[in-house]
Amino acid sequence: MNTTNKRLLTGLQPSGDLHIGNYFGALKPYVDTYEQYESFIMVADYHALTSVQNPEILRSNIHNVVRDYLAAGVDPAKCVIFRQSDNQDHTELGWILNCMVTVPFLMQAHAYKDKVANGIEPSAGLFAYPMLQAADIVLYETDFVPAGEDQRQHIEYTREAAGKFNRAYGEVLKEPKEMILDGVGVVPGTDGRKMSKSYKNTIPLFGTPEEVEKAVKSIVTDSASDKPEHVYAIHSLLKSSSELDSLYEENKGHYGDLKKLLVEDLNTFLQPMRERRQQITDEDVRQVLKDGAKRAKEVSNKTLANVRLAIGID
């Protein structure tokens, strides 16, 4: 398939340190494929406002996420790296799409329901989040969105909102498809639930070797079973099942040794990215975002102009 004229977009929230679930679920699928497309990667800082309401922390998280993208291998010469809040087209189209969908429809969103069930304040922003995300995606006429399984419904919501807009006003918005890879759609955390900042069960992507070791040591194991399933599940992100099966057979019942092997493999895998990250300066980050904002707007302005014309506010 010739994909050079297809668009790819993903985004991560600057809501704290990235973990290996973010990396294997969204960032790595992006890094592995983005050169084949016309690609965009966003720092979703308006989304992060639903959980981070401290200006110093948000500012520093934004900076850190850009460094993380660069360290993970995203080359700004080959794609557009930009910050959502640098481009007001997102909030404008987000509002317009909010007017396309109903409250009962948004109330079905699993991510919203899970967050509220976990004690997160149900702000109006959290509730409307899927329509801001829909705007993020359709503004760039995105074809594919690499993401974890938790985003499947949000991407369906994007298609739903774009479809409703198109039925009302004519074919203006492109309906995207999710790119969710087998085996990494839900990376488990140290307690076996989905790895998530809000569950405090993460293995940091850019932690020190000691932090990685501490997190791995805390992986919950079931003493009644021969194979520590959560250790194995995380290990399978790094090694094939044939390599792992013999390793886990040789070390049957020795959970401590298996965790040590996982720590070694994780640190070997993460070390080159950690080293790359140290080379990235604040000035590099500023330059990338400045350039990215300009390039993002060149594309999104066109979509928004078509939307405005279609709805009668041109």
Binding site for ligand AMP (CB under 6 A): 12-13, 21-22, 25-26, 147-148, 150-151, 184-187, 194-196
Q: Which is nearer to ligand AMP, 19 or 259 (CB)?
A: 19
Shortest reach from residue 26's CB to ligand AMP, in Å: 3
Q: Which is nearer to ligand AMP, 61 or 87 (CB)?
A: 61
Q: State phi, psi for 176 to the nearest 5 degrees.
A: -85, 165
Would you call 217 a catalytic residue per the annotation? no
Q: Name the nearest CA neighbour of 84 among 298, 296, 299.
A: 296
Give the CA dihedral 97, 100, 104, 105, nearest 10 degrees: -70
Neighbour-count burial of 216, counting CB atoms closer than 10 A to its CB (0-12 exposed, 13-18 middle, 19+ buried): buried
Shortest reach from residue 249's CB to ligand AMP, in Å: 27
Shortest reach from residue 89's CB to ligand AMP, in Å: 20
Would you call 239 a catalytic residue per the annotation? no
Question: Would strands 80-83 and 144-146 be described as parallel, antiparallel, or unpaired?
Answer: unpaired
Q: Quick one: angle between helices 255-278 and 209-217, nearest 10? A: 150
Q: Name the nearest CA neighbour of 177 among 307, 13, 21, 37.
A: 37
Q: Which is nearer to ligand AMP, 135 or 307 (CB)?
A: 135
Cα separation, 291 vs 76, in Å, equals: 9
Q: Which is nearer to ligand AMP, 204 or 306 (CB)?
A: 204
Query: Which residues fall within 8 angstroms of residue 31, CB to CB, at 6 or more apart?
Result: 72, 73, 74
Shortest reach from residue 45's CB to ligand AMP, in Å: 11
Shortest reach from residue 194's CB to ligand AMP, in Å: 4
Query: Which residues fall within 8 angstroms of residue 125, CB to CB, at 6 or more apart?
Result: 49, 50
Q: Are 64 and 17 in contact (CB under 8 A)?
A: yes
Catalytic entry in 6, 164, 197, 227: 197
Give the 3-state secondary structure of 243-277.
HHHHHHHHCCCCHHHHHHHHHHHHHHHHHHHHHHH
Would you call 197 a catalytic residue per the annotation? yes
Shortest reach from residue 70's CB to ligand AMP, in Å: 17
Closest residue to bound ligand AMP by CB: 25
Q: Which is nearer to ligand AMP, 180 or 310 (CB)?
A: 180
Catalytic entry in 174, 194, 259, 297: 194
Q: Are 47 and 129 in contact (CB under 8 A)?
A: yes
Q: Which is nearer to ligand AMP, 52 or 184 (CB)?
A: 184
Residue numbers annotated as active site: 115, 194, 197
